[in-house]
Amino acid sequence: QVQLVESGGGLVQAGGSLRLSCVASGLPSSRYAMGWFRQAPGKEREFVAAITWSGGGTAYADSVKGRFTISRDNAKNTVYLQMNSLKPEDTAVYYCAADFTSSPTVVRTSRREYDYWGQGTQVTVSS
pLDDT tens column, 39-96: 999 999 999 999 998 888 999 999 999 999 999 998 899 999 999 999 999 999 999 9
Mean pLDDT of the chain: 94
Q: What is the pLDDT of residue 56?
A: 87
The pLDDT assigned to 103 comes to 82
Running DSSP on this structure, what letter comes out for residue 91? -
CB 83 within 8 A of CB 67: yes
CA dist 63 and 101 (Å) reads 26
**For residue 104, what pLDDT band results from cuts at 50, 70 and 90?**
confident
Q: What angle do CA 105, 86, 33 make, to 5 degrees?
A: 15
Per-residue model confidence (pLDDT) at position 33: 94
CA 116, chain centre distance (Å)? 12
Q: pLDDT: is 101 or 25 the higher one?
A: 25
